[in-house]
Each structure stands twice: as structure tokens, then as C-alpha cells.
């Protein structure tokens, strides 16, 4: 399902067509495809579009830039020019074909997009990691007590992090956004909900707790080989 009512897809704006044309030209001319891709991302202006019934929301909550989703769209436009294994590693595992420092990554996609990328990293990637880390804590605690994990691990983690259950928070999120209550949730709405949870936590938790939870999330990401922004992208 889509979080918002679908709108009729509109053709790409001239500037987006030019971005794709230049991306194709740069790769065909010998520029490394990943560098050309990041430069194209820096030139892209559309924050949301619908293609073949699928909604692409590149900017979550108006603040968090889902750069890999835009990378997926752009890679599809120049698919025949890309090494399949490198493209798959980037889009499915977040592993770039060449290592770039954070400063170079920022230079290629631009200051504004980089700030929005940081919002996505801390507000969605790290927030998801925090939930995973707390779920692991609860499982370890239960094993130490000789208890089975049970089916309520995720809801217990929500209570520990946010002070309320998952469904209660999802209902509050949808009410605030004016979204209908449904039994399922799309990936797009899930990302927006996660970013909403991040801001909810910043608002309702003291600074020391926020800092501690952020360290916990980054540690989980590090243990699972996910790079933080101040490391190689």
C-alpha cells in the first residue's frame, strides 16, 4: 500500500531528463560509473515521483534523503552500462565499488543533499539499528533467565525505547499525518514512520538517554559492517 493517495505520474522534468542524459554520457565517456552516479544525484531536483504505479519518495519527511532509492532509479536508466555485480552490491548491500571519504561523497552530491543524507542515516538507518540492538538485548536477557524469546520481542523493544507499543505509536503517527489505518504498511510509509519515531524519541527522551541510544545504534551498525557517515562511504 502507499501511505498517501496515489497521484497520476507526470513525465520527468527537463532537468531530470538532462541529468539522466549526462549520466549516460559520462559513463560512456569513461568516467567511473559510481562517481558519475553521485554527481547525477547531486544534480537531481525531484524529491518524489511515481513510475509505473510505484511511488519513489527520495526525501522522507521533507528532511531525510534516501540516496540509495534515487541511485536505484538512476541505475535502472543506464543499466546496460553498469557492471552487474557492482550495481547489485551497491543497491542491495550498500557496498560501493570504490571507497570515498565523507568529504568526497559530500562534494559529489552537494551540501544540501549531504545534510539530508545525514538525516536519513541517523533518523532511519540508525533508528532501525537501535531497535535491532534492543531486541537483541531482550533476547539475551531472556536466555539468561532460561526463557524463550517469545513473540513480543519487537513490542517490548518499542516500549523500552519509546515508552509505548508499536501499534499505539503507529496509530499516533498515522493520525498526525492524516493517513488511514490499515493492517499492512508499505516500505515508503515504514521509512517515514521510522523517521517520525526518531523525532519522537528526541522530543520525549532526555539528552543523555538520546546520546546513549545513538552510541548503541552506531555500535550495532559497526558490528554489522554498516559504515557511519564519518567513515568511508
Q: Are residues 41 and 139 in the same domain?
A: no
Would residue 131 count as lying in a domain? yes
Q: Are residues 108 and 123 in the same domain?
A: no
**Cell numbers representing residue 91 in the block:** 543497491
The domain total for the chain is: 2
Would residue 9 count as lying in a domain? no
pLDDT in tens, 101-133: 999 999 999 999 999 999 999 999 999 999 999
- Is pLDDT above 90 for 7? no
What's the whole-model pTM score?
0.86
- What confidence score (pLDDT) does residue 8 get? 43
Would residue 7 count as lying in a domain? no
CA 114 to each of CA 67, 80, 110: distance values in angstroms, whole numbers, following the listed order: 9, 28, 6
Would residue 19 count as lying in a domain? yes
- What confidence score (pLDDT) does residue 212 get? 96
**Cell numbers representing residue 192 in the block:** 517515514
Q: Could you tell me what percent of the chain has a pLDDT over 70?
A: 90
- What confidence score (pLDDT) does residue 9 get? 43
Would residue 4 count as lying in a domain? no
Q: Could you tell me what percent of the chain has a pLDDT over 90?
A: 77
- For residue 224, the tally of other CB atoms under 10 A from its CB is 10
- What confidence score (pLDDT) does residue 4 get? 44
Q: Are residues 88 and 132 in the same domain?
A: no
56: left (phi over 0), alpha (psi -120 to 50) or beta: beta
Q: Are residues 143 and 219 in the same domain?
A: yes
Would residue 230 count as lying in a domain? no
Q: Are residues 125 and 105 in the same domain?
A: no
Q: Are residues 161 and 106 in the same domain?
A: no
Last residue of a domain, one of 112, 136, 158: 112
Q: Are residues 32 and 62 in the same domain?
A: yes
CA atoms of 176 and 189, how far apart (whole Å): 13
Range 29-47 average pLDDT: 97
- What confidence score (pLDDT) does residue 51 get? 83
Q: Are residues 22 and 96 in the same domain?
A: yes
- What confidence score (pLDDT) does residue 38 get? 98
- What confidence score (pLDDT) does residue 230 get? 56
Would residue 229 count as lying in a domain? no
Would residue 2 count as lying in a domain? no
- Is pLDDT above 70 for 157? yes
Residue 215 CA to its chain's centroid (Å): 19
Contact criterion met (CB below 8 Å) for 30 and 72: no
Write out the residue range of the structural domain in which residue 84 sits.
14-112
pLDDT in tens, 72-93: 999 999 999 999 999 999 999 8
Q: Are residues 57 and 145 in the same domain?
A: no
pLDDT in tens, 43-56: 999 999 988 888 88
- What confidence score (pLDDT) does residue 203 get? 95
Q: Which residues pair with 60 in a beta bridge?
A: 64
Amino acid at each position: 500500500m502507499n501511505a498517501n493517495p496515489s497521484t497520476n505520474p507526470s513525465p520527468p522534468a527537463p532537468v531530470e531528463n538532462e541529468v539522466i542524459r549526462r549520466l549516460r554520457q559520462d559513463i560512456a565517456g569513461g568516467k567511473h560509473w559510481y562517481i558519475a552516479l553521485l554527481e547525477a544525484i547531486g544534480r537531481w531536483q525531484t524529491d518524489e515521483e511515481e513510475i509505473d504505479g510505484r511511488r519513489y519518495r527520495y526525501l522522507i519527511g521533507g528532511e531525510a534523503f534516501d540516496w540509495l532509492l534515487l541511485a536505484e532509479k538512476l541505475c535502472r536508466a543506464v543499466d546496460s552500462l553498469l557492471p552487474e555485480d557492482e550495481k547489485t552490491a551497491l543497491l542491495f548491500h550498500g557496498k560501493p565499488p570504490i571507497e570515498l571519504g565523507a568529504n568526497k561523497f559530500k562534494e559529489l552530491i552537494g551540501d544540501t543533499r549531504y545534510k539530508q543524507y545525514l538525516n536519513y542515516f541517523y533518523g532511519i538507518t540508525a533508528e532501525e539499528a537501535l531497535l535491532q540492538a534492543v531486541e537483541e538485548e531482550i533476547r539475551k536477557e531472556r536466555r539468561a533467565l532460561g526463557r524463550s524469546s517469545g513473540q513480543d520481542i519487537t513490542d517490548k523493544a518499542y516500549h523500552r525505547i519509546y515508552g509505548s507499543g508499536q501499534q499505539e505509536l503507529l496509530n499516533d503517527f498515522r493520525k498526525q499525518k492524516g493517513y488511514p489505518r490499515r493492517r499492512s504498511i508499505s516500505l515508503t510509509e515504514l521509512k517515514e514512520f521510522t523517521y517520525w519515531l526518531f523525532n519522537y524519541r528526541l522530543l520525549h527522551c532526555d539528552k543523555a538517554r538520546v546520546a546513549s541510544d545513538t552510541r548503541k545504534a552506531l555500535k550495532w551498525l559497526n558490528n554489522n559492517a554498516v559504515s557511519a557517515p564519518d567513515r568511508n562511504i
